Copies of this chain bind each other. A is one copy, B any other.
Amino acid sequence: MSGNTFGTLFRVTSFGESHGPAIGCVVDGCPPGLPLAAADIQAALDRRKPGTSRHVTQRREPDTVEILSGVFEERTTGAPVALLIRNRDQRSRDYNDIADTFRPGHADYTWWQKYGIRDYRGGGRASARETAVRVAAGAIARKWLAERFGVGIRGCVAQIGEVAVPFGSWDEVGRNPFFVSNAALLPRLETYLDELRREGDSIGARLSIVASGVPVGWGEPVFDRLDADIACAMMGINAVKGVEIGAGFASVSQRGSVHGDELTREGFLSNNAGGVLGGVSSGQDIVVSLAVKPAASIRIARRSINRAGDAVTVGTEGRHDPCVGIRAVPVAEAMLALVLIDHALRHRAQCGDVQTATPKIAGSVDGRRGA
């Protein structure tokens, strides 16, 4: 099937193109009785909204969300919640230049060969604009996870290009346009990105996402492990090329006597596992790291071919993010929320009657170490 539905029980079906009339989604399987208003979703959308600083695309979209169904007297009814976001700023400029050519590093070539037709305007369905929908759906998931289980999800940019950002504080993340946790790096990042923009180039980024308060027991081995579904969700975000859980690639050179997190009645003594053991949540923070590649739409001219297969050079003018990783933070947080609520529901479906006498030990890791 064309894979535009995410989740098994909490299901998000996404639609829409960058320059079509609208984008949106249907959220099916939301537990009934959850207090929900458009404002709850709008707040999340505003965090990833374009045009908020000179360091992201200058496209002006209000991203106003309308709830079309599934909510009655400001509570969810258990019926599908449809969300609609009208596209407003479809710049009228001519796209014919890119209609016929394929940008290196972009979906242009592969989608064209797969479907034999493509809406090239602004990248069409392949545009990062589609991720607004995930943020909107994720907002519903986050609200339920917070109210029902006290789960909190936070993310930040941990590295942009060569510039690694030592973790500062979660509070700082919301105060700057780069979603970084450490204000000391801001001047350097400003210069770095201004430079890139001048050069008409783009750069990658590393993101760190942490979920706190996840109870032990979520995840469905052997295939639908919590970490496997998280990896799927993260790698399914535009431009992501790598995913780590906990120690990730560092575990390659770790010894078992170091990697394995020791258990005490007071909690785990470390979190190399990143909150997932045997594909099931441990009660510790879920710690995810991802690599976002540099955007393919850059001004610098590069070699490519056109539909006829002839050699051409392609440079993309227009309103693009020099570092798409920045606005990917709310998207990655949302995807993690979607995975978690889905597994919360799956777990109680099969194991709703399970109880053990064994104490549920506290996770010992704070967000800081997680990041």
Are B77 and A303 in touch, CB under 8 angstroms?
no
Are B1 and A358 in touch, CB under 8 angstroms?
no
The number of times this chain is found in the oligomer is: 4
For residue A206, CB closer than 8 A to chain B, the reply is yes
Task: Looking at the assembled complex, report how far the CB atom of A301 sits from the nearest CB atom of chain B, in whole angstroms.
Answer: 9
Task: Looking at the assembled complex, report how far the CB atom of A80 sits from the nearest CB atom of chain B, in whole angstroms.
Answer: 4
- What 0/1 readout, one digit per residue, does chain A (346-364) give for beta carbons within 8 Å of chain B? 1111111111111111000
In the complex the two chains form, what is the Cα distance from A77 to B311 in whole Å?
A: 26
In the complex the two chains form, what is the Cα distance from A229 to B228 in whole Å?
A: 9
- What 0/1 readout, one digit per residue, does chain A (324-350) give for beta carbons within 8 Å of chain B? 010000000000000000000111111
Known A107-B278, A161-B252: A69·B15 in contact at CB below 8 Å = yes
For chain A, which range describes its interface: under 10, 10 to 19, 20 to 34, or 35 or more residues? 35 or more
Among B69, B265, B281, the residue within 8 A (CB) of A309 is B265
Question: In the assembled complex, which residues on chain B have CB atoms less than 8 Å from the CB atom of A117?
Answer: 32-33, 72, 75-78
For residue A28, CB closer than 8 A to chain B, the reply is yes
In the complex the two chains form, what is the Cα distance from A76 to B26 in whole Å?
A: 20
For residue A253, CB closer than 8 A to chain B, the reply is yes
Q: Which of A239-288 contact B (CB under 8 A)?
A: 241-265, 269, 272-274, 276-282
Among B68, B216, B359, the residue within 8 A (CB) of A114 is B216
- What 0/1 readout, one digit per residue, does chain A (15-42) give for beta carbons within 8 Å of chain B? 1110011111110111111000000000
For residue A65, CB closer than 8 A to chain B, the reply is no
Are B244 and A241 in touch, CB under 8 angstroms?
yes
The stretch of A46-54, A97-105, A172-180, A182-190 that contacts the partner chain: A97-105
